[in-house]
């Protein structure tokens, strides 16, 4: 999906300048579907006081006992969160033993030989799939699951306030290389998941990381996962509500031009407080959730179709007691100095900064200074796209103690300093021994900076086992980063179009795990290019890549280029190390796209050794708790158990309400109905890693792609 554009990024007519000066607060949850009528428009709504945040250890133990969980625990980072995951059962399919015959088979030996091992303590460990065993799997009965959870919550005294249970499943599909389904039933339910949706007494949804309750059962009826993060609330006073028409006028300034606005009133529940936090959330206020609908003309077919933006939020009240106001001041040319003054809301405030220098994301004070930078190679410095004179966009997001977010940005004319690729010796060391991570953030500094900060901060935690390879933001995040150049590992002309995926430490193939913190659709993802204005992101003037089966493949402004990137993703080239690509983008792993192509047909051609591709089969959310949670679970830090890449992605998505998670990867049929895959990959040093499967190395008839997604209903439906 396309992301909305903040008012501060719009053309400087008077109306938009007024919107900038108001420094509209923008929260960070996203959900979707069609508008619903909620009766008469209210002039005021309750403010909810937090009577109790989360649950005690004894309450968690009581619930666990009722559910038959042997090792309950409270999360190590969030106070009062009850969390449990059995990594041997959660999202598991029937186990098959990897015998010597399998491990020494021609196909398996080929994949093992292609694997660049960064954990010598563990042998390559494929995940085997038996179609016959999978087809005979029967999910735990939905009615029994609902009754078991309701009884456990009731008898432990932990029934979620305002919660109503729904039920769904995680479903596995298997596609042939050409997109035909390999499973006779189409898809198989691996588990049964009970998920609560929250609606307060006036009928308005309550949702967010602080309004979650989920219990999953494997096929045998054993609990595989529990997640409970909720508050006990009571109304205390009220606030005046901004009329919906007026709110939609403000919202229209946050969206691309001519977008049609849809909105509704909701309550947002931020994450539970960090353990030991002296200032936990004490009130919840009403917000307007919104999305825009935009008409896009397909450059290939000429067909016009409608695309919805990500859903965003503005406070539904101007009450200074609950909604902070922010004033941003910035100056400088070769060095930027910026400061934010905040009033109102509830101190203390947390500051999240965005700018061209990656170090800005580490700065959490009210005043900062930094050297503006741009990505370059000495051979490219003469290119007009890479001029040092540019408009630098500085942004700040302020989060008060109640989780209310206020954002502002400012643009300066600066003389930026080029940053060059790292040395060959550093790259060689990383490629051989150091597990690495990367971060693509084309929407920042105007969009999703907290997501970028959370991912980089958690993945880079001292002693956790990962080293930063690259962190590209704004117009330094290029379509070419996803495309292998010809010849490989070289700097070709206009690399932002023709590819730099494996050049130096530039593209996605130069790190083991990469988060693409961007905007997407079933047909592709939005990116940027050198010299593009911040306001071009997610407009007709921004950069983009489409699925490998589409033509053109790359859009740069109003120009289009066919740049094949089939086989680009994976650790098989000179600098390539990429095993896991995480698409923090809307809808990119939807079951079907606008041309009725499934995920194997759309994204399968890009696999050139990539182990696992994750994403969303729905709008996704980039707000920080989700991305930081993925990193914590991948690395097994901050109170989390180390989980597989797939488990970490799905678990964090459910725990934060980020969207319907999805994942896919290749599988090779080494015997009739028997496949090996990388489904159970962990990060290097955290568990087993499977072999590197390069689909083009095998006969097409034995190549397949597994695909996992969820049918659990999400919290908010427009």
Rounded average pLDDT over 287-313: 75
Q: Residue 223: which residues within 8 A CB-CB, separation 6 or more?
A: 67, 68, 69, 84, 86, 215, 216, 217
**pLDDT at 21 (0 to 100):** 30
pLDDT over threshold 90, residue 70: no
Q: 552 near 562, Cβ under 8 Å? A: yes
**Torsions phi, psi for 44 (to 5 deg):** -155, 155
Sign of CA dihedral 248, 249, 253, 258: positive
> What is the separation, in whole angstroms, between the first and last Cα of the chain?
16
- For residue 601, what are the CA distances in angstroms to 130, 178, 243, 404, 549? 23, 6, 46, 42, 7
pLDDT tens digits for range 335-354: 999 999 999 999 999 999 99
Reported as a pLDDT band with limits 50, 70 and 90, residue 275 is low
Reported as a pLDDT band with limits 50, 70 and 90, residue 13 is very low
pLDDT over threshold 70, residue 35: no
Look at 8 and 610; give whichever has higher pLDDT. Answer: 610
**Same domain as 500, residue 591:** yes
pLDDT tens digits for range 112-137: 888 888 998 898 999 999 999 998 89
What's the 3-state SS for 430-449? Answer: HHHCCCEEEEEECCCCCCCH
CB atoms within 10 A of CB 161: 16
**pLDDT at 22 (0 to 100):** 30
Which of 100-114, 172-186, 320-334, 572-586 has the highest average model confidence (pLDDT)?
Answer: 320-334
Q: Residue 187: which residues within 8 A CB-CB, separation 6 or more?
A: 171, 172, 173
Rounded average pLDDT over 353-366: 91
Q: 471 near 438, Cβ under 8 Å? A: yes
**Same domain as 248, residue 390:** no
pLDDT over threshold 60, residue 482: yes
State which of 373, 389, 417 marks the end of a domain.
Answer: 417
**Same domain as 403, residue 512:** no
Weakest mean pLDDT among 339-348, 442-451, 454-463, 645-654: 442-451
Where would I find the beta strands (DSSP E) of 67-154? 82-85, 127-130
Residue 113 lies in a domain: no
CATH of the domain at 330: 2.60.40.10
Q: Is 151 helix (H, G, I), strand (E, B) or coil?
A: helix
pLDDT cut 90: percent of the chain above it: 66
Residue 183: closest CA among 194, 191, 171: 171
Rounded average pLDDT over 570-587: 91
**Same domain as 557, residue 441:** yes
**pLDDT at 15 (0 to 100):** 31
pLDDT tens digits for range 224-267: 999 999 999 999 999 999 999 999 998 888 777 788 899 999 99
Q: 322 near 285, Cβ under 8 Å? A: yes
Residue 270 lies in a domain: yes
Reported as a pLDDT band with limits 50, 70 and 90, residue 37 is very low
**Same domain as 642, residue 540:** yes
State which of 196, 211, 229 marks the end of a domain.
Answer: 229
Range of the domain at 273: 7-45+234-314
CA 488 – CA 500 distance, rounded (Å) = 8
**Same domain as 348, residue 472:** no
**Same domain as 225, residue 238:** no
CA 455 – CA 627 distance, rounded (Å) = 5
**Same domain as 651, residue 519:** yes
pLDDT over threshold 90, residue 552: no
Rounded average pLDDT over 386-412: 93
Weakest mean pLDDT among 113-122, 402-411, 421-430: 421-430
For the entire predicted model, the pTM comes to 0.93
pLDDT tens digits for range 279-292: 899 999 999 988 87
Which two tokens mark 506?
Answer: 């530039």
β-strands 44-53, 231-240 pairing: antiparallel
pLDDT tens digits for range 632-662: 999 999 989 999 999 999 999 999 988 899 9
CA 694 – CA 696 distance, rounded (Å) = 6
**Same domain as 667, residue 588:** yes
State which of 279, 314, 349 marks the end of a domain.
Answer: 314
**Same domain as 553, residue 500:** yes
Q: 260 near 69, Cβ under 8 Å? A: no
**pLDDT at 233 (0 to 100):** 98
**pLDDT at 302 (0 to 100):** 72
Residue 132 lies in a domain: no
**pLDDT at 300 (0 to 100):** 63
Residue 109 lies in a domain: no
Residue 147 lies in a domain: yes
pLDDT tens digits for range 132-189: 999 889 999 999 999 999 999 999 999 999 999 999 999 999 999 888 888 766 789 9
User: 276-302 burial, b for 16+ CB within 10 Å, e for fewer?
Assistant: eeeebbebbbbbbbbbbebeeeeeeee
Reported as a pLDDT band with limits 50, 70 and 90, residue 607 is very high
**Same domain as 364, residue 388:** yes
What's the 3-state SS for 662-713? Answer: EEEEEEEEEECCEEEECCCCCCCCCCCCCCCCCHHHCCHHHEEEEEEEECCC
Domain count, the chain: 4
Rounded average pLDDT over 420-434: 72
**pLDDT at 116 (0 to 100):** 87
Judged on CB neighbours under 10 Å (0-12, 13-18, 19+), 372 is buried
What is the average pLDDT score of the chain? 88
pLDDT tens digits for range 95-111: 888 788 777 888 888 88
Which two tokens mark 148?
Answer: 């078991």
Residue 122 lies in a domain: no
**Same domain as 660, residue 521:** yes
Sign of CA dihedral 253, 255, 257, 258: negative
**pLDDT at 707 (0 to 100):** 97
pLDDT over threshold 50, residue 81: yes
Residue 79 lies in a domain: yes
CA 600 – CA 615 distance, rounded (Å) = 14
Residue 602 lies in a domain: yes
Where would I find the beta strands (DSSP E) of 40-137? 44-53, 82-85, 127-130
Weakest mean pLDDT among 25-29, 481-485, 590-594, 613-617: 25-29
Which two tokens mark 716?
Answer: 């908010």
Which two tokens mark 615?
Answer: 């994403």
Judged on CB neighbours under 10 Å (0-12, 13-18, 19+), 462 is exposed
Which of 69-73, 444-448, 617-621 has the highest average model confidence (pLDDT)?
Answer: 444-448
Q: 163 near 112, Cβ under 8 Å? A: no
């Amino acid at each position: 999906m396309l992301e909305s554009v903040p008012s501060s990024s719009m053309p400087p007519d008077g109306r938009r300048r007024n919107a900038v000066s108001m420094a509209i607060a923008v929260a960070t949850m996203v959900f979707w579907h069609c508008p619903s009528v909620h009766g008469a428009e209210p002039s005021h709504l309750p403010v909810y006081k937090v009577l109790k945040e989360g649950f005690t250890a004894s309450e968690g133990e009581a619930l666990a006992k009722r559910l038959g969980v042997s090792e309950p625990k409270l999360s190590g980072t969030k106070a009062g969160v009850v969390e449990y995951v059995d990594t041997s059962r959660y999202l598991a399919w029937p186990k098959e033993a990897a015998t010597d015959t399998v491990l020494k088979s021609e196909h398996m030996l080929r994949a093992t030989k292609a694997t660049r091992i960064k954990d010598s303590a563990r042998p390559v460990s494929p995940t085997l799939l038996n179609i016959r065993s999978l087809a005979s799997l029967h999910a735990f009965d939905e009615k029994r699951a609902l009754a078991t959870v309701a009884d456990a919550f009731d008898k432990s005294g932990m029934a979620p306030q305002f919660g109503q249970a729904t039920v769904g499943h995680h479903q596995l599909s298997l596609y042939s290389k050409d997109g035909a389904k390999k499973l006779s039933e189409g898809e198989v339910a691996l588990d049964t998941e009970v998920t609560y949706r929250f609606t307060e007494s006036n009928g308005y949804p309550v949702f967010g990381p602080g309004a979650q309750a989920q219990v999953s059962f494997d096929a045998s009826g054993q609990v595989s996962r529990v997640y409970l993060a909720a508050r006990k609330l009571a109304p205390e006073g009220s606030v005046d509500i901004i009329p919906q028409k007026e709110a939609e006028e403000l919202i229209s300034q946050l969206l691309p031009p001519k977008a049609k606005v849809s909105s509704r009133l909701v309550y947002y529940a931020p994450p539970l407080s960090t353990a030991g936090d002296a200032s936990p959330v004490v009130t919840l206020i009403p917000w307007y959730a919104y999305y825009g609908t935009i008409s896009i003309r397909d450059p290939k077919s000429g067909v016009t179709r409608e695309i919805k933006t990500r859903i965003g939020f503005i406070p539904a009240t101007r009450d200074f007691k609950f909604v902070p106001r922010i004033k941003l001041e910035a100056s400088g040319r070769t060095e930027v100095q910026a400061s934010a003054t905040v009033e109102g809301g509830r101190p203390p405030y947390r500051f999240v900064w965005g700018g061209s220098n990656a170090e800005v994301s580490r700065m959490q004070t009210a005043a900062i200074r930094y050297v503006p930078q741009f990505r370059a190679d000495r051979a490219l410095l003469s290119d007009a796209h890479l001029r040092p004179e540019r408009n630098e966009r500085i942004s700040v997001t302020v989060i008060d103690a109640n989780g209310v977010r206020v954002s502002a940005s400012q643009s300066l004319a600066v003389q930026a300093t080029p940053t060059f690729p790292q040395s060959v010796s550093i790259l060689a060391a990383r490629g051989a021994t150091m597990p690495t991570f990367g971060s693509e953030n084309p929407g920042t500094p105007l969009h999703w900076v907290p997501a970028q900060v959370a991912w980089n901060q958690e993945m880079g935690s001292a002693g956790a086992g990962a080293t930063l390879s690259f962190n590209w933001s704004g117009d330094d995040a290029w379509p070419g980063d996803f495309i292998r150049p010809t010849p490989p590992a070289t700097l070709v002309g206009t690399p932002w179009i023709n590819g730099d995926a494996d050049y130096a430490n530039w593209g996605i193939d130069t790190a083991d795990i990469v988060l693409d913190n961007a905007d997407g659709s079933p047909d592709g993802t939005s990116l940027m290019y050198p010299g593009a204005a911040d306001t071009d992101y997610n407009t007709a003037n921004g950069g983009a890549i489409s699925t490998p089966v589409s033509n053109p493949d790359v859009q740069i402004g109003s120009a289009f280029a066919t740049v094949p990137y089939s086989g680009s993703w994976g650790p098989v080239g000179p600098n390539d190390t990429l095993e896991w690509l995480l698409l923090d983008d809307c809808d990119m792993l939807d079951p079907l796209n606008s041309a009725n192509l499934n995920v194997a047909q759309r994204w399968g051609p890009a696999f050139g050794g990539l182990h696992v591709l994750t994403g969303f089969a729905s709008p996704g959310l980039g707000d920080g708790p989700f991305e930081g949670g993925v990193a914590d679970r991948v690395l097994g830090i901050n109170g989390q158990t180390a989980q597989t890449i797939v488990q970490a992605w799905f678990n964090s998505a459910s725990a934060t309400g980020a969207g319907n998670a999805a994942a896919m990867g290749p599988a090779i049929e080494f015997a009739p109905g028997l496949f090996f895959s990388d489904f159970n990959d962990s990060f290097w040093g955290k568990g087993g890693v499977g072999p590197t499967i390069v689909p083009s190395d095998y006969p097409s008839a034995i190549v397949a792609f597994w695909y996992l997604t969820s049918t659990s209903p999400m919290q908010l439906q427009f």
